[in-house]
Amino acid sequence: MSDIKLGATLFCYTGEYAKFEYDFEECVKQAALAGASGYEIVGTQMIPSYPNVSDEFLGKVKRLKETYGIGPVGYGANNDRGLLFDRDLTDDEMLADTIIDLKTANKLGCKVMRSQYMLSAAAFERLAPYAELYDVKVGIEVHNPETPMSPEMQKYLKVIQKTGSKHLGFVVDFGCFAIAPNKPMWDDALGMGVKEEHLKLAAECRYQELPIEETQKKLAEAGAHPAIQRALQGMYGFVQFRSKEKLPKLLEELRQILPFCFEMHGKFHYLSEDCVEPSIPYEEILTMLKETDYQGYIVSEYEDEMNCGGYEFTRRHLAMERRILGL
């Protein structure tokens, strides 16, 4: 039987935070008011002394937990292989940086840390004893365009099975289950003069899994406005989508790695007033999850591509999840 808890990443409030409308405390307060029972903090975004964490900041986190009733449950690590201008970081350097992140997560009291697949599978394997030492479960993020059982993710699954470590696993981002184009990018293209018929042509080409070069050629022949390129790059990049007929297979992939999942990222790009995400099939995802034995957080993660802030949308997302899950 599942035991699902609902949280929110403070990344949801990036728009307000970046414009100095919210400070760290206000982000925590808004997550609590939205109904989150815990929050994820992305270290590079909100920890002033990143990659380390100061006693002053830890004190603030403790005080805010007493004030608003919620604290950090997940830590978003940053695996930046391109940190240097002249070369990529080595596996040794990536591992060292990730160990610092582990220490920070431990000090914050986070039991889960999200890592990214810029951390190689080989380095991930070497991380196991450190994750166990600091008692922080490290999940590689399964992020669009990857899927739970894509070849890249299978490399990490083999490591998890090889080590047998209970501290290595996955954090699945629901964006990898998208079955329709990203609405904000679609609307943005329309606003710049792109015809809807050309956007539909681009989407159909993507459903057919045509190479992007072939799709660009078809769009050029159809006389599509050049502004369609941003939406097209999204369709072939980090906001890919697949036909709904493929959803059962993708959800079955999720079932296969579910025993190793420490946390889920409830990615969303837009929610209508009746709390429907146009591209990510939440009814199907959450209905399946509540019938499993998954025990952990689903952390709402809003991508504010519409630059309208996360205040209302994060509230809607948590309300939608509670409705579907019956919480």
- Between helix 212-221 and helix 228-235 the angle, nearest 10°, is 150
Burial of 31 (C-beta count, 10 Å sphere; 0-12/13-18/19+): buried
Q: What digits encode the pLDDT tens for the residues 105-150?
A: 999 999 999 999 999 999 999 999 999 999 999 999 999 999 999 9
Same domain, 43 and 164: yes
Sign of CA dihedral 81, 117, 3, 327: positive
- At 41, which CATH number? 3.20.20.150
User: Which of 204, 235, 266 lies at the terminal end of a domain, its last residue?
Assistant: 235
Task: Supply the pLDDT for residue 97.
Answer: 95
Shared-domain flag, residues 223 and 248: no
What is the per-residue pLDDT for 82?
87
Looking at the structure, tell me whether residues 88 and 13 fall in a common domain: yes
Same domain? For 278 and 189 the reply is: no
Residues 154 and 271 in one domain: yes
Residue-wise DSSP of 177-233 = G--S--HHHHHHHHHTT--HHHHHHHHHHHHTT--HHHHHHHHHHTT--TTHHHHHH
CA quadruple 56, 7, 28, 12: dihedral positive or negative?
positive
Does one domain contain both 189 and 98? no
- 84: exposed, middle or buried (Cβ count in 10 Å: 0-12, 13-18, 19+): exposed
**Residues 219 and 301 both lie in one domain:** no
Residues 120 and 204 in one domain: no
| Tally of domains within the chain | 2
The residue segments making up the domain with residue 268 are 3-179+244-325
Both 87 and 165 in one domain: the answer is: yes
Q: In terms of domains, do 120 and 51 share one?
A: yes
Question: Within the chain, which residues score under 70 in pLDDT?
Answer: none
Q: Could you tell me if 173 and 211 lie in one domain?
A: no
- pTM comes to 0.94
Please tell me whether residues 85 and 200 are part of one structural domain. no
